[in-house]
Amino acid sequence: MDDLRKRARELLEIRAVNVVIGYEQGTSGRKRAFFAEKPEDAEKLVFDSTCIQNLASYVTKREIRDKGKIAITATLPVMRSIIQLASEHQVDDNNLLVLGITSESRLIEFSNLAEMETFVHQYQIEIDARHREKLEKLEKMTPAERWKFWIDELTPCFKCYACRAACPMCYCQRCTVDFNQPQWIPVPSHQLGNLEWHIMRAVHLAGRCVDCDACYNACPLGIPLNLLTKKMVEDAKSHFGGYQPVLNGEHLMSTYKPDDKDNFIE
């Protein structure tokens, strides 16, 4: 990734950006987020297939935002996240430069988000075969079996909220679970508290989740949370003809039309 390092160095040298968000070598062979702020920092930037953390989570983080203009190393899921964030007015086109990385690990710099959107829209969000198989297995279960499956999976959750923290779409300054007057979701990580939290989280991501698996990768207990969000991606496809984040336009789940064929909301 010499191209990436070279470009990051240039951007920092000419002060075109204040920080380049990318990956560096972490511990035990892991790759982790890195924030290059000086031209010489760019040498630490790395990229390979083990760079899986969704860096878009950092563009809404206050300490990063405060640094000023940001460049971000972005794989396809990160680009999708940025489009969704932009459509929700969470990132500013003038303040964010995307250093895209194609599936062939080629650097592709976008002059604006619209250009990135055109690139991203060449690809559909597809559930891989391994997960599709798991979803099919879940769908074949009776409601009672499925209920047991989720109770068993969600019971170990101790609500560390790593799933929330790692998700770029969970940018709320104050999450619903953090409200206590009134208390919408029970705080204890007992069965009901866990169920309510995960159902709420999943539903809040309906039509917004870009299927990056950050929540699952972050879970210290290995709970397959991404089966919930992947199921929604599949449902978006079967009920609404698919989902693709767009900069300007209608949100899949939160756009009301007066001529909607369903009238439950009236």
Partner 1 sequence: MIIDKWLISKDSLEKLFNVLKKDSKKIYAPVGRNGKISFRETDRFGEIDTGYIQTAQSSKEVVFPRTEKILDYNKNKDGVSVKGFDPGSIPEVVLWGVRPCDAMGIWKLSAIFNWDFKDEIFNTRLSRVTVVGFSCARADEYCFCTSAGGGPGNTEGSDILLTQLGENGDYLAEILTEKGSAIVTIASELFRENTVLNKEQFLADVPVRFDREELRVKLEKIFESGCWTKQSLRCLGCGACAYVCPTCACFDIQDEAHGGSGMRVRCWDSCGFSLFTLHTSGHNPREVQSQRWRQRIMHKFSYMPDRLSVYGCTGCGRCSRACPADMNMLEHLISIQEAEA
Of the pair 102, 183, the CB lying nearest partner 1 is at 183
Q: How far is the CB of 149 from partner 1 (least distance, A)?
A: 12
Q: Which is nearer to partner 1, 222 or 249 (CB)?
A: 222
Shorter beta-carbon distance to partner 1: residue 63 or 259: 63
CB 56 within 8 A of CB 74: yes
Query: In Å, how far are 9, 114, 206, 244 from 248, measured between CA atoms?
Result: 32, 9, 18, 12
Residue placing its CB nearer to partner 1 in the complex, 63 or 262: 63
Amino acid identity, position 117: E
Nearest approach, Cβ of residue 165 and partner 1 (Å) = 4
> What's the closest the beta carbon of residue 227 comes to partner 1, in angstroms?
12
Q: Phi then psi for 71, rounded to 5 degrees?
A: -110, 140
- Among the listed residues 36, 19, 114, 21, the one whose alpha carbon sits nearest the alpha carbon of residue 72: 21
Token pair recorded at residue 100: 């895209």
User: C-beta of 35: minimal distance to partner 1 in Å?
Assistant: 5
Minimum separation from the CB atom of position 173 to partner 1 (A) = 8
Sign of CA dihedral 52, 53, 55, 56: positive
Cβ proximity to partner 1, 36 vs 202, nearer residue: 36
| The pairing of beta strand 31-36 with beta strand 107-109 | unpaired
Question: 143 or 220: whose CB is closer to partner 1?
Answer: 220
Closest contact distance (angstroms) between CB of 15 and partner 1 is: 20
Residues that bind partner 1 (CB under 8 A): 26-28, 30, 32-35, 53, 57-58, 61-64, 153, 156, 158-162, 164-166, 174, 178, 183, 186-190, 193, 214, 217-218, 220-224
Tokens for 208?
Answer: 């917004």
Both tokens assigned to 30: 């892991």
User: Residue 97: which of 13, 20, 171, 43 has the closest Cα?
Assistant: 20
